Amino acid sequence: LLVMGRLSAQCTDARVNIITPALFTALPTPKDFANAKLETVEQLIKSCGLYHSKAKDLIALGKVLDEKYDGRVPDTMEELTALPGIGRKTANLILGDVYGKPAVVTDTHFIRLCNRMGFVKTKEPKKVEDAMRKLLPPDKSNDFCHRSVLHGRAVCSARAPKCDECCIKDLCDKKL
């Protein structure tokens, strides 16, 4: 999930899901990533875009996980965001989905929905995350984020929201 989070930057989840089976077959452990040749990783992830920087980050990530964490993914925001190429969105994803800790995964869909529902008036991910942490019960925050993203993809898209199909349109600030 950590590697997939890094690959998802400027790339769809669908594309990441297509390339990761071959990637994880070739490089199943952090040590394998750490010892991989840059060109090998680049070829494996080329179709997800930004592959030069992502490949460098994945190799460096493998080295840190192998050398500092004995191949295990850390479980704190501070440690996760210190890893090469890992930001708050991916760190929150790991904390919530892997470790079951309260998390607010703030992606573009979540930001859009939080603004449309009037919870926030900002597009800055950290400000949205902080505001939503104050509003959401910790034990429900991760689930709320995932459901919001699914709703944002299926119904409340940025360009063509399906307001007539929306179950939360009464909360929406969007004026069509």
Distances (CA, A) of 87 to 2, 44, 77, 150: 10, 22, 9, 21
70 is catalytic: no
Q: From the candidates 89, 101, 162, 170, which is the catalytic residue?
A: 89
* Count of all residues that appear for the chain in the document: 176
Query: Which residues, 6 or more positions from 47, have their beta carbon under 8 angstroms from its beta carbon?
Result: 15, 18, 19
Which of 31, 107, 121, 140 is catalytic? The answer is 107
Number of Cα atoms under 13 Å in the Cβ half of residue 20: 16
User: What CA–CA distance (Å, rounded) separates 87 from 92?
Assistant: 9
- Cβ-contact 42, 55 below 8 angstroms: yes
Rounded-to-10 torsion of CA 130, 146, 51, 31: 90
Helix (H, G, I), strand (E, B) or coil at 120: coil
Q: Distance of alpha carbon 77 from its chain centroid, rounded? A: 13
75 is catalytic: no
Q: Among all residues, which ones are annotated catalytic?
A: 89, 107
